[in-house]
Amino acid sequence: MIIEKPQNKVCELNIEQPNIELAPVEKNSLSDSIPANETHFSIGVICNQDTLVSLKLDAPAIYKSRNTNLLTLLNNGTPSGVGLSIKYNDNKYYLGNVIYNSVHRTPSTEYTFPFSVGYVKMSENILPGKVTSQINVNLEYK
């Protein structure tokens, strides 16, 4: 199956860091409520005309936890016991929630959505290793 992109795009995502690297964290500094080694990133939207936009982050089912503001890790053996907490504007972000017009109340040609991600403890049994997870970005515009 081939999906063609529209030729005359009104808006497009501007993601400077498609892969976000978090610094390693010590097991004893992990909390189940306060993200450790939080890393800030932003998702930009650039439009070729004044446009109202909304943005939504979601994750494939294998990365979703019961707590919708936490991402689980790719289940490849190690690591385990940790997850990733996402924040939008320094507040917990719940996967699937729509964010309308980041800062602007009227149509604009550029938007910036500020996020951060950090480690959280999801169980007492923590195994070290390289953390891998995934998020999908959905953009809607009018």
CATH number of the domain enclosing 75: 2.60.40.1090
Q: What is the mean pLDDT of residues 49-75?
A: 81
Domain assignment present for residue 2? The answer is no
Domain assignment present for residue 111? The answer is yes
Domain assignment present for residue 1? The answer is no
Structure tokens at 71: 């991402």
Domain assignment present for residue 3? The answer is no
Looking at residue 3, its pLDDT comes to 39
Q: Which position has the token pair 């729509």?
A: 98
Task: Give the confidence band of 2 by pLDDT, cuts at 50, 70, 90.
Answer: very low
Residue 130 has pLDDT above 90, yes or no: no
Contact 129, 73 (CB under 8 A): no
For residue 102, give the nearest of 138, 38, 52 by alpha carbon: 52
Domain assignment present for residue 5? The answer is no
For residue 116, give the nearest of 10, 30, 43 by alpha carbon: 43
Looking at residue 77, its pLDDT comes to 64
Residue 27 has pLDDT above 80, yes or no: yes
Domain assignment present for residue 4? The answer is no
For residue 43, give the nearest of 14, 84, 12 by alpha carbon: 14
Domain assignment present for residue 6? The answer is no
Task: Give the confidence band of 73 by pLDDT, cuts at 50, 70, 90.
Answer: confident
**pTM score, two decimals?**
0.84
| Domains in the chain, number | 1
Looking at residue 16, its pLDDT comes to 82
- Greatest mean pLDDT among 6-10, 96-100, 127-131 lies in 96-100
Q: Which range of residues forms the domain containing residue 89?
A: 11-141
Residue 134 has pLDDT above 80, yes or no: yes
Residue 54 has pLDDT above 70, yes or no: yes
Q: What is the pLDDT of residues 113-125, one digit of tens each?
A: 999 999 999 888 8
Domain assignment present for residue 22? The answer is yes
